[in-house]
Amino acid sequence: MLIRTQQWLIAAASTLAVVAISWAWTESSAGFRLELERSQLAKQIWEVGTARLRLHTSTFLDTASIEAQIGWRESHAELTRLLETRLFKGAPGAAILAGLHQHHAVLPDVFDTLVEYRTAKSVNWILDPDAQAHQRELTRRIVTLTQHIAEGSSTLMDLSQERLEALQRRQERLMLGLIFALALAIGLNFAIVRHQILKPARRLEQGARAIEAGHYDHRIGLHRANELGTLAREFDHMAESLSTTMAALRQQGAQLALANRELESFSYSVSHDLRAPLRGIEGWTEALLEDCGERLDATGHEYLDRVRGECARMNLLIADLLQLARVTRDELHQEWIDLPALAGQVATRALEACRGRDIHFDIEPDIGAWGDRRLLEIALTNLVDNACKFSAREPQARVVLGRCMAENPATRLREEAFFVRDNGAGFDMAHARRLFGAFQRMHSEKEFPGTGIGLAIVHRIVLRHGGHIWAEAERGRGACFYFTLPPAPGPAPAVVRCAGAHG
């Protein structure tokens, strides 16, 4: 059964129990108040029907005054009002109250007779024995009737007291029942929390720790038809999927390690085995030029120059491929870098390589970056070399390196990015998607020579740092390359201000 179903059942049962007990308590309280009223009424009947009637009778016998008669009749009228109550209707004391009515009904006649004889002038109460006997008889009847009323009212008080005690015991039982119901509900909730929630939760926690420790074959094995049972089964399913995924990752890791070894072997072959024939070709062309140069015509010299140029291009291509392989597999050594200083060194080398050209470098000062110094130097070198190359047709080339807020096309968010901008040939943004692929070129070899690998190297370096790179350009108006780097784990130190290099 689901835990929430158990909770609903316990809550419903507890609510019903509380409602039932509360209803019984309310009913018992109403009965208790009713019995208190009956008891007070019985006490009043006793006081009026016994004590006060007897007192007024005694006073009348002593004084035969009108005040005593009025007092007696007022007491009797009050007794009449008390006996007309409906509090005892349907109660065990109803029959007793009916008997009190009978005694009460006789009292006025007896008292009236007593008054008549007592106030008659023809009767001498002091000297006439018969009159005295008659007076005693009437008095005895009044006493007897009031005694019956006293006994009846006392019986009513006793019945009410017994009923009050019974109701009190019932209320005590109801209170105990309520306490028991609440204790039972609390106990059941505690048992459910302990056995249905806490214990399974501990098993889930242990399972999570086992998975965290790398024991992907660990299973919860909790077979229960509730929410935590479903969660445990999903956990086991997740662990099964994770185990399969980790096995696949281990296999892929082994394959990747093999691929890396093969790549290293290929790099070695490229570095030694492929360059050796190129060196041989270059050597033989030089020997042919030296030994047979005089016998070659212009066409032959042109062919030899082309062979030597293709050898140089091949060497450059091999160097770029080796560099692409190295930046892919080399370990990162990240640190705080004074980017303007690093860019200034790159710009100085670019100016030396482009002697005779008017190139102006504008490098924003006070820019710190967190990354691998060697790899970022390679990236900046490729970006700056490209900027110089593609602005070769400009009378005054301008290369700007700085930092700004730019919208990242990958995330559609504005981020802090570094940029390298030139005023060169630019390119058509319709082909920007293939910009960072190896051997992808936006211009022909005749226009701007190159291997088409430089931007692929930059892209690989930025990705290895966890950043993004993108470009904005317009044909004939230059290009701007943006790249982001992840934030540093700590505060940046003070960077050295750099005004940049100018040529």
Q: Where are the domains of the chain?
A: 3-194, 220-329, 332-503
Alpha-helical regions (H) of 354-493: 373-390, 454-464
* Nearest alpha-carbon partner for 386 in 371, 401, 375, 368: 401
390 exposure class (CB count in 10 Å sphere: 0-12, 13-18, 19+): buried
Asked if residue 172 lies in contact with residue 4, where contact means CB atoms within 8 angstroms, the answer is: no
Architecture of the CATH domain 3-194:
Up-down Bundle (1.20)
Can you read off the two tokens belonging to residue 4? 């929430």
CA dihedral 84, 89, 95, 100 (to 10 degrees): -10
Asked if residue 423 lies in contact with residue 391, where contact means CB atoms within 8 angstroms, the answer is: yes
Q: Give the span between the Cα atoms of 140 and 120, in whole angstroms.
A: 20
What pLDDT is stored for residue 497 in this prediction? 40
What pLDDT is stored for residue 418 in this prediction? 93
220-329 CATH: 1.10.287
Sign of CA dihedral 12, 14, 18, 21: positive
Q: Tell me if the domain spanning 332-503 has CATH number 3.30.565.10.
A: yes
220 exposure class (CB count in 10 Å sphere: 0-12, 13-18, 19+): buried
What pLDDT is stored for residue 209 in this prediction? 85
Q: Give the span between the Cα atoms of 105 and 101, in whole angstroms.
A: 6
Can you read off the two tokens belonging to residue 499? 């005004």
Strands (E), 115-227: none
Q: Give the span between the Cα atoms of 374 and 396, in whole angstroms.
A: 30
Asked if residue 440 lies in contact with residue 450, where contact means CB atoms within 8 angstroms, the answer is: no
DSSP state of 445: T
Return the number of other C-beta atoms located less than 10 Å from residue 216's C-beta: 16
Q: pTM of the predicted model, to two decimals? A: 0.49
Q: From first to last of its 503 residues, what are the pLDDT tens digits of the chain?
A: 666 676 677 777 778 877 887 787 788 788 778 878 888 888 888 888 788 888 888 888 888 888 988 998 898 888 888 888 887 777 777 888 788 888 888 888 888 888 887 777 555 555 567 767 877 888 888 888 888 888 888 888 888 888 878 878 887 887 888 788 888 878 877 777 777 777 777 877 888 888 778 777 878 777 777 777 777 788 778 888 888 888 888 888 888 777 767 766 766 666 666 677 777 787 878 887 787 877 778 888 788 888 877 777 777 677 766 766 677 667 788 888 888 999 999 999 888 888 888 889 999 988 888 888 888 998 898 899 888 888 888 888 899 999 999 988 888 888 889 999 998 888 877 777 777 776 666 665 566 666 667 788 888 889 888 899 898 888 888 889 999 998 877 666 654 443 334 44
- Spatial neighbors of 105 by CB under 8 A, at least 6 apart, are none
| Rg of the chain on CA atoms, in Å | 58
Can you read off the two tokens belonging to residue 353? 């390589």
Strands (E), 252-373: 334-338, 359-363, 368-372
Can you read off the two tokens belonging to residue 241? 């999927």
What pLDDT is stored for residue 402 in this prediction? 92
Can you read off the two tokens belonging to residue 360? 């102006």
Please name the amino acid found at residue 100. L
